[in-house]
Amino acid sequence: MNIQSTSGLSFVLVLLFSSSWAASAQNPEDFLQCLSLHSQNSTSISQVIYTPNNPSYLPILQFSIQNLRFTSSDTQKPTVIVTPSHESQISTVIKCSRTHGLQIRVRSGGHDYEGLSYVSELPFVVLDMIKFKSITVNTETRTAWVQSGSTVGELYYRIAEKSKVLGFPAGVCPTVGVGGHFSGGGYGMMLRKYGLAADNVIDARLVNVNGEILDRKSMGEDLFWAIRGGGGASFGVILEWKIKLLSVPQEVTVFTVDKTLEQNATNLVHKWQSVASKFPEDLFIGIVITRVNSTRDGEQTIQATFHSLFLGGLDRLLSLMQESFPELGLGKEDCTEMSWIESVLYIAGFPRGESLEVLLDRTPLARQLYFKAKSDYVKEPISKNGLEGIWKMFYEDEAEAAVMILSPYGGKMDEILEYALPFPHRAGNLYKIQHLVYWEEEGEVAAERHISWIRRLYSYMAPYVSKFPRAAYINYRDLDVGVNNQGNTSYAQASIWGFKYFKNNFNRLVKVKTMVDPGNFFRNEQSIPPVSLWRKKKGD
């Protein structure tokens, strides 16, 4: 239950703390007293605070955890969870966390692949934005304000409530929170038409390190640039985004076509590499690689699933495919025309006819598993021999539930300059790869076995993907590419991973960080460092 107190938090402190919790932070009692003293209404703030002695603490912590790797008993837990319902409460949490030496981890939907929105090695507070989920759609101006605790599913639902011909180019998974998704770039199956989610953000409001609430005008263009692709957690707490809504046709066309190795999958994937980024921008065809049971008893094979969204009608799609990719053998029977919002459900894996209300459900679509992910960018087609080497690795025991997702670029992504936003992966990329491996077994032995497999796959891919740097996507967070030192880190240390995510934009991000958070309060294992700190360490 929530902590209830009519006389402020100090009255109930003695009931809240066990010796084990008190040892987990420097001054947790003082932190809660600080919240009470600096809140406009101490009763109100008490109703959004959860400590480990509170029966609701674990359910709230675990509700938005998407990766079971971070649910073990030895995973560091937050000193306090705060689920703010008012903006002033966020400012108070920041001020009191700074005063009492606690880190802040901000969680929107809990999809950070390495759990950085709810895990820390240092004493910390989770600021869970789940109550910040207001969405205001204005069809006349074709804009919307979206609070950062909203999910992309909730956003799509609210747009569809108001219009059948407006949409937004965000992610496929409806439970992803927009706070982190947009701040890392955010992409979906309309990226070839409209670019990233972040490309279509036109204003934002955030709370800075001093507890001040800023919008685009008051934060300035440098900070506004940084939070659209540079990861918001380095710069403040995102309250809400203003986005521009974009045109979608009354009907779109979708298809899903499975091809196994016995059905010429290798040649089809090889050909796809040369054509997918050159299709008209209305057409997105991605590939999902998995291992499946073969038609031969007791045997398995590799399957390439070609999945598509076309912002147009069936006849035009079939004509395009016959012209550019006839090898796939796409037929009318493979395709379905539907509204754009229906395609959102289809692409997310819901059955045809499912109610749109499922987009409002924040619980995961599938049973939660342990997983590890990595990312790559491909600039030249991988040879058939190279593809066959991937298939060979997918037959290994640890790859039973491995997935490789290939997402084509081109179109609008080629038109936007790589320094327009912190997200630099634009022209020159044929497609992006998301590497994933899932497993069910508990324990470190199983985790190490599967993580070792995906690391070996990543090593195998090195000759076939981008180089100098080997690029990666921050929303597919991977601590293997480099981490900061605990506490304050150096520029040199952070640049190991920073140039992989941001290329030369990393340097501008460091300058912005130095301006807005020179003391490096907002930090994690892969946060942008301020330049002042590493210069001091070098003796400058």
Residues annotated as catalytic are 476
If you count them, how many residues does the chain have? 540
Q: Which amino acid is at 418?
A: E
Structure-block tokens of residue 389? 């080497």
Cis peptide before 469 (omega within 30 of 0): yes
Pairwise CA distance, residues 528 & 231, whole Å: 9
φ, ψ of residue 8 in degrees (nearest 5):
90, 170
Which H or E run includes 32? helix 28-38
Pairing of strands 49-50, 80-82: antiparallel
Name residue, tokens 């207001």. Answer: 134
Structure-block tokens of residue 33? 């007293």
3-state class (DSSP) for residue 199: helix
240 neighbors 204 (Cβ within 8 angstroms): yes
Q: Which amino acid is at 202?
A: I
Structure-block tokens of residue 427? 């022209």
Strand partners, 371: 438
503 neighbors 469 (Cβ within 8 angstroms): yes
Within its chain, how far is the Cα of 169 from the centroid? 14
Structure-block tokens of residue 502? 């941001």
Burial class (CB in 10 A: 0-12, 13-18, 19+), 1: exposed
